[in-house]
Amino acid sequence: MSIDNSRRQLIGASVLAPLSALAPHLARAQAPAPGGAWPDRPIKLVIGYPTGGATDGVARPIESRLQAALGQPLVFDYKPGAGATVAAGLTAKAPADGYTIHITDSGPMTILPNGKQLAYDPTQAFTPLGMICEGCSVLAVHPSVPAQNLKELLQLAKAKPGTLTYGTSGIGGSAHLSGELLQAMTGAQLVHVPYKGGGPAAVDLVGGQIPMLFASTGTALPFIQSGRMRALAVTSVTRSSALPNVPTVAEQGVPGYDATVWFALVGPAKMPADIAARIHRALQGALVDPTVQQALRRQGYEPAPGPAEAMGTRVRADLTKWGKLIRDKNITFE
């Protein structure tokens, strides 16, 4: 062996020896910390309605806070169709790894499951991650309608049963059931006109094609503020922060009426408990942020922070409530 070769081997050994000693430490430093590997890529947020709708309006204020808390961007994945049951079904079938979450609402979780066969069981197919907010539908009429309050509207409806129509965002949604509940509790006979969204229904009311509608506060508010429709009542137990001068249905002679709308965050069933807990904590942080609260209240929604389990309790209670109404009135969603 030449002197040059020996020298090269010695130099190589002197360099490799320290690196070999460091190898186990480098491996530990590069390996993900236990429990800290998630999330290491963007998280998909499934939304069951078109962009610009009420659910989109709820998602936007919490988006940046969730991203900051979880350290990854949220990718909005719009999957509209069948009253948001398409999105719910896709979420139920997604891997329970924390990379697919879903903003749902009372319609696909507690109304439609009572009236049609779905690809998911709302009490079994999801991991509750927390309630987001509660709100209401608004009962509004075209300015040409002579009724100035709910009592006068019901008098008009009872004078000509089955002729007064009301528009909604679609069959089986919370707005539809708001109208059905009003009929069941007052004896009024109204005609439901379903649309493919609250926006088209509002446009037709403003245009005079329909005399009244039930719509989300976010959809109806601009038209009410501009005088192109007149709000007569809100469907929740308490008045809406966005329409504080508009009384509830219950205040106007229909005690016990409650058609509160709610939104919640869920994931597929059997999500790892630590991942579900992190998402829940991130959501709670968003809901106590004054900027987020203000943004939700501007749309007529009240933030609803609380334990994740509260959503499961609400789903079961509302399934029973709406199930009775749907059976009693023989409502179908086909």
pLDDT tens sequence across 297-313:
988 899 999 999 999 99
Instruction: Look at domain 141-252 and name its CATH class.
Output: alpha beta
Q: What is the pLDDT of residue 12?
A: 43
Q: Residue by residue, what is the 3-state secondary structure of 38-98?
A: CCCCCEEEEECCCCCCHHHHHHHHHHHHHHHHHCCCEEEEECCCHHHHHHHHHHHHCCCCC
- The residues of the chain that CATH labels 3.40.190.150 are 43-136+260-328
How far apart CA 284 and CA 38 sit, in angstroms, is 19
What 8-state DSSP symbol labels residue 248? B
Residues with pLDDT less than 70, the chain: 1-36, 334
Q: Fold for 43-136+260-328, please state it.
A: D-Maltodextrin-Binding Protein; domain 2 (3.40.190)
The pTM (predicted TM-score) of the whole model is 0.80
**Residues spanned by CATH 3.40.190.10 within the chain?**
141-252
CB–CB of 75/241 below 8 Å? no
Tokens of 55: 């659910």
Write 224-230 long-range contacts (CB < 8 A, 24+). 224/138, 224/140, 227/143, 228/143, 229/140, 229/141, 229/142, 229/143, 229/202, 229/205, 230/140, 230/141, 230/142, 230/143, 230/145, 230/148
Sign of CA dihedral 274, 275, 280, 282: positive
The C-alpha angle 112, 94, 129, rounded to 5 degrees, equals 70
Q: Which residues lie closer than 8 Å to 120 by C-beta, 6 or more apart?
A: 85, 88, 89, 92, 126
